[in-house]
Amino acid sequence: MIFVFLLSTIFLVSPVIAQKLNIKNDVFWNTKDGQPIYSQGGGIFKFKDPMSGQEKYYWYGVHYKEAETYRNSPNKTLPRSSYESVTCYTSTDLVNWTFEGDAMTKQEALPDGKWTWLGRLGVAYIKDLDQYAMFVQHGAEVLIAVSDLPAGPFKWHQKISMLDRIGTTNTGDQTVFTDEDTGKSYLVYSYGRGRNKIYLSEIGIVNGKVDLLDCTMIFEGVGREGNCMFKYKGKYYMAASNLYGWDASLAYYLVADNIKGPYEPRNDMQVMEGSESDYAHVTQTGFFFNVKGSKQETVVYCGDRWANFAGNGLGYNQWFPMSFNGAKPYFNSLGSWNLDVKTGEWEVAADNNYVKNGSFEADRKRMPSQVKPVQTYLLGWETTVLKGNKVSLDTTSSPVLNYDNSEEERKRVIGEKSLNISDKVPFQRKVSQVVSSSPYVKLPDGFYTLTANIKNTEGFSKLEMYAESAGKRMASKVKKTNPQWVTIELKRMPVKNGKVEIGFLADGNANASCQVDDISLVKEK
């Protein structure tokens, strides 16, 4: 049931290696005392605790009223964003978080009480003032608020128009990046209309006020959003997502030796490998943080999942360890992994689900899609038509590959979408995924359990879920109609040589239909 996910505890201490703490995606997160974490569109920064002098991680983000509603009943997608506050959480291990309070209240941010968009924020320490400055999108301009303490309260400082700097009063998406080597902080943002340009501005003081000191365009080309930066081994990485609204997308990047550029390839953002099969684990680029441990440095990709407005699964914050081949970043799509903040080391957790796009939420449109993204397949999955209509952009003949879950169904299965296996004519179809080791994450040999939620009409002479590895094949046959969702599974499925094919085979009459959702492949103990 979906409530199992809702009640799951996000962070578990590994019983084997005490220093490695678990980060679990695809669930809603809690503080260490069990209170909900509400933090969207923000960032994590390292500041000293003014009381203890200890350096801590400060996590800022927006608490939207709809985040509460969706968390309590994730079967309904909500239409708008209602700002409640900017929250502040602190941690010393990036896993156990303490709620420090509302860093900026609703009364401070919206003194006239009128609705407007607030989001996409970050905080910088202003050494010359010994204050902390928060930059947040505020309607059609940028609000700067300041505080004497890192946890706030942040008070209205000034609101700035970007018109004279970039030609629009507002920024597109924005984040704050602090270069720990220089101590300088920057606002990273895009052009307010079309978002086809990305800029970088150093944060400082102008005429006694916190402001932007300069404006450097570092990218011009296809529209991008979710702009954010990180630094690794002396190189600067600019990352962004497609213009898909609240939906997930591929993750893109550019690299430079100097923070002001040039960023290469010039005006040609590259797809981050590992993000292709599930649109970066159903996220947009949000922000990054670096764990500089005693044994290694790990860059963590923090993806925004705007599930309350897109209906695309559970959880708002999805974090993943990055790998690198020289200067080339690699996105590791993991459902569960362990991090040691002292050493910087990470590992795949024992309960990780190795299936990509297993809940079919990466594809937010009806597939095949004639609008962006123009696409004739489901991400991570191969559809083989053995008999029946071909998959194409012809909406009159092509079978529809995904299905819209109703609000009632979403009490049982996750998200708005599921796999659809059907056709207007008699058909035979295979929908499959090859799960294998990546360059940085091994699929260990051993026994696995494959599970899925399924419902189906009558009219199938064959309907089965299967798994095959190293010549060994197992199948779970569906022998009756299931008008309501049921769970099927294959236990003790042997996986060898770091590779297994999983999928579904169907032989059906015209208009027979089967829906599949929430597929998982987890190694047995």
Q: In the chain, what percentage of residues exceed pLDDT 70? A: 97
- Residue 285 has a pLDDT of 98
Q: Which of 67, 78, 76 is nearest to 407 (CA)?
A: 76
Q: Tens digit of pLDDT for each residue in 402-436?
A: 999 999 999 999 999 999 999 999 999 999 999 99
- Non-local (6+) Cβ contacts of 128 within 8 A are 204, 205
Q: Tens digit of pLDDT for each residue in 436-456?
A: 999 999 999 999 999 999 999
> What is the CATH number assigned to the segment(s) 382-523?
2.60.120.260
Supply angle C-alpha 216, 194, 264, rounded to 5: 45
| Cis bond before residue 111 (omega within 30° of 0) | no
Q: What is the number of helices (H) and of strands (E) in the chain? A: 6, 34
- Residue 264 has a pLDDT of 98
Q: Tens digit of pLDDT for each residue in 313-370?
A: 999 999 999 999 999 999 999 999 999 999 999 999 999 999 999 999 999 899 999 9
pTM above 0.85, yes or no: yes
CA-to-CA distance for 16 and 171, rounded, in angstroms? 47
- Residue 19 has a pLDDT of 81
Phi first, then psi: give them for residue 267, nearest 5 degrees. 55, 30
For the cut 60, the answer to whether the pLDDT of residue 241 exceeds it is yes
For the cut 70, the answer to whether the pLDDT of residue 226 exceeds it is yes
> Are the C-beta atoms of residues 39 and 62 closer than 8 Å to each other?
yes
The pairing of strands 346-348 and 382-387 is unpaired
Superfamily of domain 31-276: Glycosyl hydrolase domain; family 43 (2.115.10.20)
- Residue 2 has a pLDDT of 47
- Segment 302-307 mean pLDDT: 97
In this prediction, residue 13 has a pLDDT band, given cuts at 50, 70 and 90, of very low
Residue-averaged pLDDT of the chain: 95
* Tokens 């003032």, located at residue: 129
- Segment 171-180 mean pLDDT: 97
> Are the C-beta atoms of residues 363 and 378 closer than 8 Å to each other?
yes
- Residue 16 has a pLDDT of 37
- Residue 10 has a pLDDT of 42
For the cut 50, the answer to whether the pLDDT of residue 221 exceeds it is yes
Encode burial over 92-115: b for 16+ CB neighbours within 10 A, e otherwise: ebbbebebbebbbbbebbeeeeee
Distance of CA 399 to the CA centre of its chain: 29
Q: Tens digit of pLDDT for each residue in 15-46?
A: 334 489 999 999 999 999 999 999 999 999 99
CA-to-CA distance for 86 and 103, rounded, in angstroms? 5
Sheet holding 472-477, edge to edge: 382-387, 427-436, 499-508, 460-469, 472-477
Q: Tens digit of pLDDT for each residue in 150-170?
A: 999 999 999 999 999 999 999
Q: Which ranges constitute the DSSP H helices of 41-167?
A: 65-72, 106-109, 163-166
The CA-to-CA distance between both ends of the chain, in Å, stands at: 22
> Are the C-beta atoms of residues 350 and 335 closer than 8 Å to each other?
no
| In the chain, domain spans | 31-276, 382-523
- With residues binned 3-state (H G I as helix, E B as strand, rest as coil), the percentages for the chain, rounded to 5, are 5, 50, 45
